[in-house]
Chains A and B, each alone.
Chain A
Amino acid sequence: MTLNEICKPENLVYKKTSLLTDKVMHYCPGCGHGTIHRALMEVVDEMGLQDKTIGVAPVGCSVLAYDYMNVDMQEAAHGRAPALATAIKRLMPEKFVFTYQGDGDLAAIGTAETIHCCNRGEPILMVFVNNAIYGMTGGQMAPTTLEGMKTATSPYGRDVHKVGWPLRITEMIAPLNGVWSVSRHTVHTPAAVQKLKRAIKKGIEDSMAHKGTCFIEVCSSCNSGWKMNPVDANKWMAEHVLEYFVPGDIKVDGQMVR
């Protein structure tokens, strides 16, 4: 069979979802943001929720997420996406509302908003992309930076006695009563992407059913910030980041499982 014989519409197995715009993403080559955008939009597409979805974009690398996702989006001030999402969900309770935030947004400047939004149990889906560094501003140390990890502002490695330990905010918000489900995923293998999609689907269903806040952390690589090539960055993440930020379910249906 020649390539032209195979490449016919009836043989199509996989194609980029129409809920992502045709704009070229500004992310660095190999950045996990693109994969996470696509996983999220594929699930929204499969569930037929395009006209019912409202997203809130953060400040950080994914500040232009509204340019790439073909759903209604709003841009929040730095760290304030949960506050904005709360207002949107309360005004339009029948919509599916999600926030898409990085670690500098959700776990640093927006810690208070995150914790109080989860404590109130706002029925939204929070997607937290953790790449252990401030990517957009040039690779400075983030609260989630690992011990001993070299960044622009910790050139000798993170000294935990001076600046504290890497913040596991996902584990921190899990015991709150308002939180319905908490899990941590990655996007460095195709199987992990499928797992993430299943978690997003469940998060959408539960938040639409007003059960509580659904929180999904996604560990992603930042090869530019980590000064590696994309393939090595994924390997490094599997060996080091996932050792500290262990993937898996933390809270399922309101019950702690870890």
Chain B
Amino acid sequence: MAKFQGAIVVDREKCKGCGICASICPTKSIGMSKEVNGKGYHFAILVNEETCVGCASCGHICPDGVITVYRAKVE
């Protein structure tokens, strides 16, 4: 079975830190950062790079559309 590894890129300045992506992530790969962005929000970050499978659930639900999702096949 082919294995996939995913990654997300979050637009840190636009993220409002609502945490919905972290709550619905099926592999619990997303968390909220300790630092804050220009508006004072704790933005979303990829906390576990190995477990992300690039399912794009976070991208589909993000209210502000700040998440871009990538997925690559692991040979």
| Interface, chain A (partner B; CB < 8 A) | 1, 3, 5-8, 11-17, 20, 24-25, 27-35, 38, 187, 189-190, 193-194, 223, 229-231, 234
Q: Which residue of A lies closest to B65 (CB)?
A: A16
Contact B68 A189 (CB under 8 A): no
A3-B49, A11-B70, A14-B68 as given contacts; A35 in contact with B5, CB under 8 Å: no
Contact A29 B18 (CB under 8 A): yes
Chain B residues, CB < 8 A from A187: 61
A30-B20, A230-B20 as given contacts; A13 in contact with B54, CB under 8 Å: yes
Shortest 6 CB-CB distances between A and B: which pairs?
Answer: A30-B18, A34-B63, A29-B16, A14-B59, A16-B65, A29-B18
Please measure, in the bound complex, the distance between the C-alpha atom of A23 and the C-alpha atom of B62, giving whole angstroms.
Answer: 15
Please measure, in the bound complex, the distance between the C-alpha atom of A24 and the C-alpha atom of B62, giving whole angstroms.
Answer: 13
Please measure, in the bound complex, the distance between the C-alpha atom of A6 and the C-alpha atom of B68, giving whole angstroms.
Answer: 12
| Any A CB within 8 A of the CB of B67 | yes
Contact B5 A6 (CB under 8 A): yes
Chain B residues, CB < 8 A from A229: 19
Q: Which residue of B lies closest to A34 (CB)?
A: B63
| Interface, chain B (partner A; CB < 8 A) | 5-7, 9, 14, 16-20, 23-24, 41, 46, 49, 54, 56-57, 59-72, 74
B38 to chain A: closest CB distance in Å?
Answer: 11
Contact B63 A189 (CB under 8 A): no
Q: Most A CB atoms within 10 A — which of B6, B18, B41?
A: B18
Can you identify 22 A-B contacts, CB atoms within 8 angstroms?
A1-B5, A3-B49, A6-B54, A6-B70, A7-B7, A7-B9, A7-B70, A11-B70, A13-B59, A14-B56, A16-B66, A17-B65, A29-B16, A32-B63, A38-B65, A190-B60, A193-B60, A193-B61, A194-B60, A231-B19, A231-B23, A234-B20
Q: Which residue of B lies closest to A33 (CB)?
A: B63
Could you say which of A15, A25, A31, A33 contacts B68, with CB atoms under 8 Å apart?
A15
A14-B60, A189-B61, A190-B61 as given contacts; A1 in contact with B74, CB under 8 Å: yes
Could you say which of B16, B49, B56, B71 contacts A30, with CB atoms under 8 Å apart?
B16
B73 to chain A: closest CB distance in Å?
Answer: 9
Chain A residues, CB < 8 A from B71: 6, 11, 13
Chain A residues, CB < 8 A from B9: 7
Please measure, in the bound complex, the distance between the C-alpha atom of A87 and the C-alpha atom of B73, giving whole angstroms.
Answer: 51
Please measure, in the bound complex, the distance between the C-alpha atom of A12 and the C-alpha atom of B71, giving whole angstroms.
Answer: 6
B34 to chain A: closest CB distance in Å?
Answer: 17
Contact A190 B19 (CB under 8 A): no
A191 to chain B: closest CB distance in Å?
Answer: 9
Contact B14 A24 (CB under 8 A): yes
Chain B residues, CB < 8 A from A13: 6, 54, 56, 59, 69-71
Please measure, in the bound complex, the distance between the C-alpha atom of A11 and the C-alpha atom of B60, giving whole angstroms.
Answer: 17
Chain A residues, CB < 8 A from B7: 3, 6-7
